[in-house]
Amino acid sequence: MKDWLIIGGGVQGCTVASFLLKSGKTTVDQLSIIDPHEKPLSNWKRMTGLIEMPYLRSPFVHHIDAAPFSLHAYGKKHYELNHFYGNYKRPSLELFNDHCDQSLQAIKLEKCWVQGRVKGLKKEGHWVLETEDGERLTAQNVVIAIGVTEQPHWPDWAKEVKKAIPSRIYHIFDQEVKRTDDFSPPFLIVGGGISAAHLAVKLSKQFPGQVTMVTRHPFRLHAFDSDPGWLGQKYLRSFDQLACFKERRDKIKNARNRGSLPNDVYRNICSLQKQGKLKIVFDEINESSIQTDAQTLTLELSKSGERLSPQTILLASGFEPSMPGKEWLKPLVQNENLTCAECGYPIVSKDLEWCPHLFVAGALAELVVGPAARNISGARMAAERIVSSI
Ligand SMILES: Cc1cc2nc3c(=O)[nH]c(=O)nc-3n(C[C@H](O)[C@H](O)[C@H](O)COP(=O)(O)OP(=O)(O)OC[C@H]3O[C@@H](n4cnc5c(N)ncnc54)[C@H](O)[C@@H]3O)c2cc1C
């Protein structure tokens, strides 16, 4: 039996592992981290690689290693200055990923890695976890660090197109999408946020004049996903005092700059638009917009009536907001009498403990950690809370 078992080896799970190991609260032989992928951070690397995001949106102090300035120190030693962007010194994706790999290597995370997908968790004095392959793992303490990244959001009209001509429409973050080279132009990118914009930059450089980006709303310019005041007491003090979890959920919804993008990315798409390489349309698609048969795909935009005939539609429409992992978390909630808010998400203590020896991080911790919970800063806040409580 292990001391600690982390479910999910993404940004959140790896950050918790790093804090647990570096604080000396556990050791490599007493920790397991289970994830369906062969290697840590696979989802993160696939998603950010697919859209070729050059720089992170978050500043250099947000990374997965326990030492707060380690990314900065690593970058200064091994990279040119241009790997830090702008006033917030946002790290390049290359630097960030390299630093992740180095940090995980330093704590020997590969020795803790178990490849598998959890399908059940129950308490038999200690925790017993079962994987889809029928493997059983046991531990004293469990951290659930699965995120929403496996539930891309598909609008209803897009589901209809998928049914009719499956090979012509994808969500860019579908697990099955490994690279964009398999897709044919002309492209229609659906979405107006940072992922849609990065994807538009990438594809319109590769296929100038063959990329249209359609967004329902004017561009929402914000440096970050949420105001940095949410990283400290400025906003979290009053958030902590809210006893009503519906109010907390509303606060989170209002605080998140959904579908937004920072200025530099906005400038990039505007420049490509001016050069005629990218077309940007402010309009909507709905079920009645679509005409398909086995060969053709035509969309009529709701407001302008303009007709588009893309070869490939790529959705960059974010993720489903509902609680991830419902299929195996629901029985756990019932059997252990765990409390959940109206929105379905866990109600946990300030230490992110759902019940004795069961912790959460990332999206599942957001009713306590707040709007930044899903981000790298949120991973650090969750890891700090868990580690300092034990
Ligand atoms: C394109 C993109 C760019 C982003 N850029 C930034 C940024 O610059 N700064 C920032 O702070 N945030 C950013 N984010 C937001 C956030 O930091 C990332 O989405 C991050 O990957 C979330 O971490 P996670 O651990 O929740 O999810 P993931 O990294 O996806 O990891 C979750 C892991 O849990 C695994 N898992 C799920 N279910 C199970 C199960 N049943 N059993 C075992 N394992 C399971 C998954 O397979 C996955 O490997 C970005 C997000 C995206 C999509």
State the DSSP code for 62: -
CA 58 to chain centre: 13
Contact 144, 7 (CB under 8 A): yes
The pTM score is 0.96
Residue 390: CB atoms within 10 Å = 15
- Cross-strand partners of 211: 187, 278
Residue 202 Cα to ligand 1 middle (Å):
21
Helical H segments across the chain, by residue range: 11-22, 42-50, 70-78, 93-106, 156-164, 194-206, 233-240, 245-255, 263-274, 326-335, 366-369, 376-388
- Cross-strand partners of 307: 300
- Residue minimizing CA distance to atom 28 of ligand 1: 10
Cis peptide leading into residue 186 (ω within 30°): yes
DSSP 3-state assignment of 63?
coil
Q: Which residues line ligand 1 (CB under 6 A)?
A: 7-13, 34-37, 42-44, 47-48, 51, 53, 56-58, 62, 117-118, 145-147, 149-150, 195, 325, 362-363, 374-377
Contact 187, 210 (CB under 8 A): yes
- Cross-strand partners of 121: 129
Tens digit of pLDDT at every position of the chain (390 positions): 999 999 999 999 999 999 999 999 999 999 999 999 999 999 999 999 999 999 999 999 999 999 999 999 999 999 999 999 999 999 999 999 999 999 999 999 999 999 999 999 999 999 999 999 999 999 999 999 999 999 999 999 999 899 888 999 999 999 999 999 989 999 999 999 999 999 999 999 999 999 999 999 999 999 999 999 999 999 999 999 999 999 999 999 999 999 999 999 999 999 999 999 999 999 999 777 777 776 778 888 989 989 999 999 999 999 999 999 999 999 999 999 999 999 999 999 999 999 999 999 999 999 999 999 999 999 999 999 999 998
Supply the pLDDT for residue 54.
97
Supply the pLDDT for residue 291.
75
Supply the pLDDT for residue 294.
65
Q: Mutate which of 42, 50, 53, 146 to test ligand 1's pocket (most atoms within 8 Å of Cβ)?
A: 146
